[in-house]
């Protein structure tokens, strides 16, 4: 390999050359990680469009918007508790981010068994979240909420709810499958020679899904 230092151009010309060649921006970044970031950026645009569309409808509709604290309340032991299920779902996803972060740390330490177990635990949290979301959907469907109508107020509520939470739930479900497959391959030792960056790449996807839920929780359930 030729280790001789290449001459650099100074001034504006040098600045332009460095900029267009991405000399430092993506230095030593793998294709896998780069492609995941590009995918997550495109997904960010989609979720942003959904949330902006929801907020636009919410602010322009003439029909009263349902009170989400009442719509998503549950009666437990005779007590009417608002947003209790949503709070538990949020806690589950935040906890799963912690286990995923620990899995990434174990991966770079080449502790493949611990990394695999933590990834499977993260996947279990994801399954719990999807199960609670299925319960939430079932409850609202039984109460008459549909994508094209809503007996509690503005008809757009049903469309916004099923579109936004459904798209996010689909991402969580895909993430559970992704985590499980990678965890089993890690446990089997398939990445022993090339390293465990795949665990970090999987973690990027999962943390993104968790972050999106924080925005959904804030804009849809708390507003």
The stretch 10-26 carries a mean pLDDT of: 61
Task: Check whether 160 has a pLDDT greater than 90.
Answer: yes
What crossing angle do the helices spanning 156-188 and 197-216 adopt, rounded to 10°? Answer: 160
The residue among 1 and 216 whose pLDDT is bigger is 216
β 74-76/79-81 pair status: antiparallel
Euclidean distance between CA atoms 154 and 170, whole angstroms = 25
- C-alpha R_g of the chain: 22
Task: Check whether 129 has a pLDDT greater than 90.
Answer: yes
Which residues on adjacent β-strands are paired with residue 146? 149
CA distances from 199 to 44, 78, 161, 181 (A): 21, 44, 32, 11
The residue among 11 and 218 whose pLDDT is bigger is 218
Euclidean distance between CA atoms 209 and 81, whole angstroms = 26
User: Collapsing DSSP states into helix, strand and coil, what is residue 102?
Assistant: helix
Euclidean distance between CA atoms 172 and 33, whole angstroms = 19
What are the extents of the domains in the chain? 30-221
Confidence of residue 2 (pLDDT cuts 50, 70, 90): very low
Domain 30-221 adopts which CATH fold? 1.20.120
pLDDT tens by residue, 64-118: 999 999 999 998 888 889 999 999 999 999 999 999 999 999 999 999 999 999 9
């Amino acid at each position: 390999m030729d280790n001789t230092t290449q001459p650099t151009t100074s001034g504006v010309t040098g600045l332009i050359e460095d900029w267009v060649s991405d000399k430092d921006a993506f230095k030593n970044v793998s294709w896998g990680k780069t492609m995941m970031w590009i995918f997550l950026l495109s997904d960010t645009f989609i979720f942003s469009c959904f949330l902006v569309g929801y907020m636009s409808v919410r602010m322009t509709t003439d029909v009263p918007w349902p009170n989400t604290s009442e719509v998503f309340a549950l009666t437990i032991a005779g007590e009417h508790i608002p947003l209790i299920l949503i709070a538990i779902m949020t806690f589950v996803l935040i906890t799963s981010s912690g286990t995923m972060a620990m899995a990434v740390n174990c991966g770079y330490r080449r502790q493949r068994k611990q990394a695999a177990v933590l990834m499977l635990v993260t996947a279990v949290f994801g399954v719990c979240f999807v199960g609670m979301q299925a319960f939430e959907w079932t409850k609202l469907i039984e109460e008459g909420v549909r994508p094209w109508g809503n007996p509690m107020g503005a008809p757009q509520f049903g469309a916004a709810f099923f579109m936004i939470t459904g798209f996010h739930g689909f991402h969580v479900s895909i993430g559970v499958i992704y985590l499980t497959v990678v965890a089993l391959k890690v446990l089997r030792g398939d990445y022993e020679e090339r390293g465990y960056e795949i665990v970090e790449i999987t973690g990027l996807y999962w943390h993104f899904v968790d972050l999106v839920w924080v925005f959904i929780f804030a804009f849809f359930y708390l507003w």
